[in-house]
Structure 1
Amino acid sequence: MRLPTSAHTDRPWRIHEIAPDFLVEDVWRIRTPGGRAEDFPALLEALRADRATDGRGLTAILFAIRWKLGALLGWDRDDAGTGGRVTSLRERLPADLRDTPVPAADGPFTPLYVLDDEYAAELANGTMHGVAHLGWVPDETGYHLRMAVLVRPNGWVGRAYMGLIKPFRYLIVYPAMTRAWERAWADLARGR
């Protein structure tokens, strides 16, 4: 379920001190009923394991088109990403976050930090510098997963790109992703 920006900005997440110059593009609540405080690391692992199913359906076709366009237009060159066009947000991490163990990158995003209730990973290319932020939020059923996407578009091309892909994110990508993540949670909860 899509949430207002304040659902992210009103929480005391550590990402606020690291990426204050990024725009909150999207905030979504993922149904993970009955979660416990200590479930967040196991849920992150389940989400990483579930990536094996990413290669199916319309979402996979959209990503394949995006990667082809990126190759054609040079958006994904090494010099367009972190260490090239932009400095990695790892450079902004305070010492206590810099020293936390993070999982290895297993997709286009590079993990920045993992806490008991918060995870952040970054991606940079010729169109934008982005952060995927996952938070574990207490609610009336226990805890739920909340995802925020933060971006810093790269000029007019980046702003145009973000505007162009918005309907695809809302109508196809996020619904498919939330269904997959909710399934991963249900599988994890059944196994407990």
Structure 2
Amino acid sequence: MRLPKTAHTSRPWRIHEIAPDFHVEDVWALPTPGGPDDLPRLVEQTVSGNNFPEGAPLIVRVVWAARWKIGAVLGWDRPKAGLGARAASLRDRLPDDMREAPKGPESATFPFSPVYLLKDEWAAELANGTVHAVLHMGWVPDESGGYRGRMTVLVKPNGRFGAAYMAAIKPFRLWIVYPALMREIERSWQAGAGGQPTI
């Protein structure tokens, strides 16, 4: 379920102090009911999952493939447009008390690079010719007395072109990509719990 931006901005996440120049693009409540210590499981599932977009509906796979093909032709994803080149990593901004915190898992198939992993939040980043983006996952209490994930995408567009690009892809994100992604997250979460939600 899509949430208002205040669902992210009103919580005392550490990402606020690390990325104050990024703005909140999207916030989603994740279909991942669990206990208070299940964030690492969600992060591992996110990083190691290989069923998205391959397991998504055809239209999502087409949109996803088109983005990467266009990016290849226009050079959006070249190393010189990425982290450490066009954009400095957010790891360089970590305050002293977080420098020794674990980053979380990495995967060659997952496009984001981990920044930090805490008990109740995880952040990963990517940069290309259009945007420097943060994928933030928080672990929050829910109305049933359990916990569940919350996913936020924060962005810092690369100039006017980056802002126009983000505006152009918004309908695809909201109406095609995210609904398919939510279904895949739920399916994988339930499969990891033996088909039963962990409450």
TM-score (norm 1): 0.93
Distance between the aligned counterparts of 1:97 and 1:59, measured in 2? 37
CA deviations on 1:150-188 (whole Å, 9 max, x unpaired) are 000111110110011000000111101111111122122
Contact 1:50/1:180, CA 8 A, preserved across alignment = no
- The equivalent residue for 2:170 is 166
Task: Give 3-state SS (helix, strand or coil) of 1:146's partner.
Answer: strand
CA deviations on 1:87-110 (whole Å, 9 max, x unpaired) are 111100123323222212432110
- The equivalent residue for 1:65 is 66
Q: Which amino acid aligns with 1:154?
A: N
Q: Which amino acid aligns with 1:130?
A: A
Task: Give 3-state SS (helix, strand or coil) of 2:194's partner.
Answer: helix
Q: How does 1:38-117 map to 2 (within 5 A)?
A: 38-56=37-55, 57-101=58-102, 102-106=104-108, 107-117=110-120
Is 2:122 aligned against 1:123?
A: no
List alignment gaps of at least 5 residues for structure 1: none
How far 1:126 sits from its partner (Å)? Answer: 0.7
Distance between the aligned counterparts of 1:46 and 1:163, measured in 2? 29
> Kindly tell me: are residues 161 and 104 of structure 1, through their superposed partners in 2, closer, same or farther at Cα, counting changes over 3 Å?
same
Distance between the aligned counterparts of 2:149 and 2:84, measured in 1? 30
Task: Give 3-state SS (helix, strand or coil) of 2:37's partner.
Answer: helix
How far 1:76 sits from its partner (Å)? Answer: 0.9
How far 1:53 sits from its partner (Å)? Answer: 4.4
> Kindly tell me: are residues 53 and 20 of structure 1, through their superposed partners in 2, closer, same or farther at Cα, counting changes over 3 Å?
closer
Q: CA RMSD in A?
A: 1.6
Q: Which amino acid aligns with 1:48?
A: V
TM-score (norm 2): 0.90
Q: Indicate the percent of aligned positions where both proteins have the same amino acid.
A: 58
CA deviations on 1:110-153 (whole Å, 9 max, x unpaired) are 01111111110001011110000001110122011100000001
Contact 2:124/2:136, CA 8 A, preserved across alignment = yes
Distance between the aligned counterparts of 2:50 and 2:120, measured in 1? 21
- The equivalent residue for 2:29 is 29
How far 1:82 sits from its partner (Å)? Answer: 1.1
Q: Which amino acid aligns with 2:44?
A: E
Contact 2:52/2:181, CA 8 A, preserved across alignment = no
Contact 2:120/2:139, CA 8 A, preserved across alignment = yes
Is 2:185 aligned against 1:181?
A: yes
Distance between the aligned counterparts of 1:61 and 1:76, measured in 2? 18
Contact 1:105/1:111, CA 8 A, preserved across alignment = no
Task: Give 3-state SS (helix, strand or coil) of 1:158's partner.
Answer: helix
List alignment gaps of at least 5 residues for structure 2: none
- The equivalent residue for 2:158 is 154
